[in-house]
Chain A
Amino acid sequence: MIQLTSTEMVTHKEFKSVKTGPITSDQPEPDWIHDLPNDNLVGAITALASEIYILKERLKATERELERHNAVPKGAIEEHQPTEEERLADQKQLRAFVKRIWSEIARPRRHAANVSPGVEKFFKQPD
């Protein structure tokens, strides 16, 4: 049976990602990933980029097929002009898109959900 001492339960400074105590809201949000090789990150970005290329290629093929079958006039997508209402909606979506990405990069180290400092006082076993 695994046994943890009370000291181990609350001390987790010596570990990088293993947690042995509550993540209370007086601490910054922990860093979890310490040893990810850049090669792996580049691999993941390349995989994501390949998926984007596949989507682009299919979209291009779809546009061509639509033009060939006269579902949209030739050049219509390239020359597409949104209405004023659509333009405003597009701008709003673009701002939200940029914010979504950049707010993740610049995310403050606050916890999304809290555990209050001092919660350890409830860790006592009953008599």
Chain B
Amino acid sequence: MPDTLRNEPDVLTVPESRNFRSYQGFLRACRDYMTGPLLGDMKEYYQEALENETLEPSTDDVMRILDDSIEFQIYSWANRHLQRLKYQDPELGVFATVNAHRESLIAELDAAASDDPECLQLNPNIEFPEYYKMVDFHQHTGGVWSDELDGVAYEFGRRTTNAVDVDPDVLYRMSYSQFPDRRYEKVLDWGTGHGAGLIEWQKLHPESECHGVDLSAPCLKLAHKRAKELGLRMHFSQQDVEHLEYDDNTFDAVFHLFMFHELPPVTLKNALREVLRVLKPGGIFVGPEIGLSGKDPFMDVVWLSHAWSNNEPFSAQWFKFDIERAANDVGFSRVTIEPFKPMYESNGESKPNDGRWRFYTLEK
């Protein structure tokens, strides 16, 4: 949560103890170690194992080498359990900290939701798709939809996903910087979650009428509250991306941030069809997504294993999904797949473009 929001009286803030900050800071440092030096050690182990090999390693070879690596085993434990400890510690976890202020937080969300029904449309009768109920994505217990404070916990939990010196909203700006330079009168944030991405868009594009959809009511309530806190009039609606409730030809752009890998392949194709319908002629569907590099089998196997252990079971299917074919089948006129340039530029020379971070533009 940005420091600038802390002392604003109307801003929903989760009070946090010194111990909570220390504990979560420690977990973040462990995560930084996992994705930095430990990953480097894994790579070194892998390269040494391959030293005398002349043939290109198969996926199976890479898996067998990594499976015997202590570094990989600890990396995998950390990937699975740092997330658990972040959320679940009985005293200092995100859930415990949020729940300690349960009544007041719910009251704040409800108060904001009740006075502006046009900007927050929830559907208590919505039928959640089965895949959505089956998976607690990113190991968020119960999913981000089953408890009234799941949106708050989801937003609050960003603190151990991002390094302390990194603005958690920088990824949104990176993505928007790669959009075609044109006027966007009406936009849709596809899987808007706690709304931070759409709010960032509105700050950069005050001319846009902003809409965000998500299945999670607790997330949408928080998104609405955050927009109100900043005096922004935005529209959040509880909808399923397979069955959008907007008229045909409504939006100049529909955008997302790393949403493709969270959807089953058949759902994704159906959702593409819906996006096409609600886009204006010439409108675009844009956003970054991660894929396998095809150039670095080591990182590809690490990433696949990471996805399974972090409860992202549709990642492996996304990696096999033929988006150009699916987009053409449903009627998009053009599909462009480029490197997600700002991501590589921000990494500097230490992390060269390995082809995993891509930016997809689908044109109607």
Residues of A within 8 A of B (CB): 1-4, 8-9, 12, 15-23, 30, 32-37, 40, 96, 99-100, 103, 112-116, 118-119, 122-126
Contact = CB atoms under 8 A, between A and B. Distances in A.
Contacts of A1: 292, 294
B13 interface: no
Interface centre among A17, A20, A124 (most CB of B within 10 A): A17
Given A20-B308, A22-B308, A115-B311, A4 B136 contact: no
Given A18-B66, A18-B67, A36-B70, A113 B141 contact: yes
A123 to B, nearest CB: 5
4 nearest CB pairs, A to B: A113-B136, A122-B264, A19-B308, A1-B294
B84 A112 contact: yes
Nearest to A34: B73
Contacts of B63: 15, 18, 20
B74 A36 contact: yes
Nearest to A6: B320
Contacts of A35: 68, 70, 73
Contacts of A16: 67-68, 73
A126 B135 CA distance: 20
B267 interface: yes
Contacts of B314: 122-123
B359 interface: no
Given A18-B301, A113-B136, A123 B264 contact: yes
Contacts of A4: 59, 304, 316, 320
Given A23-B308, A23-B309, A115-B311, A2 B292 contact: yes
B309 A119 contact: no
B206 to A, nearest CB: 38
25 contacts: A2-B292, A4-B320, A15-B64, A16-B67, A17-B73, A18-B67, A19-B304, A23-B309, A30-B80, A32-B81, A99-B90, A100-B90, A100-B91, A113-B136, A113-B142, A114-B135, A114-B136, A119-B135, A122-B130, A122-B267, A123-B314, A124-B264, A124-B265, A124-B266, A126-B269
Nearest to A9: B316
A109 B134 CA distance: 19
Contacts of B140: 113
B121 interface: no
Contacts of B308: 12, 19-23
A124 to B, nearest CB: 6
B294 A122 contact: no
A17 B67 contact: yes
A113 B143 CA distance: 8
Contact of A123 (B90, B91, B265, B326): B265
B141 A126 contact: no
Tell me the interface secondary structure of chain A in the complex: loop
Contact of B77 (A32, A115, A124): A32
A10 to B, nearest CB: 10
Contact of B90 (A20, A103, A124): A103
B259 to A, nearest CB: 15
Contacts of A37: 70
B134 A113 contact: no
A75 to B, nearest CB: 29
B87 interface: yes
B67 A33 contact: no
Nearest to B90: A100
Interface centre among B88, B135, B313 (most CB of A within 10 A): B313
Nearest to B139: A113
B76 interface: yes
Contact of A22 (B268, B313, B320): B313
B42 to A, nearest CB: 11
A5 to B, nearest CB: 9
Given A103-B90, A119-B134, A23 B297 contact: no
A19 B80 CA distance: 12
Contacts of B292: 1-2
Interface centre among A34, A37, A116, A124 (most CB of B within 10 A): A116
B285 interface: no
B99 interface: no
A60 to B, nearest CB: 22
A126 B84 contact: no
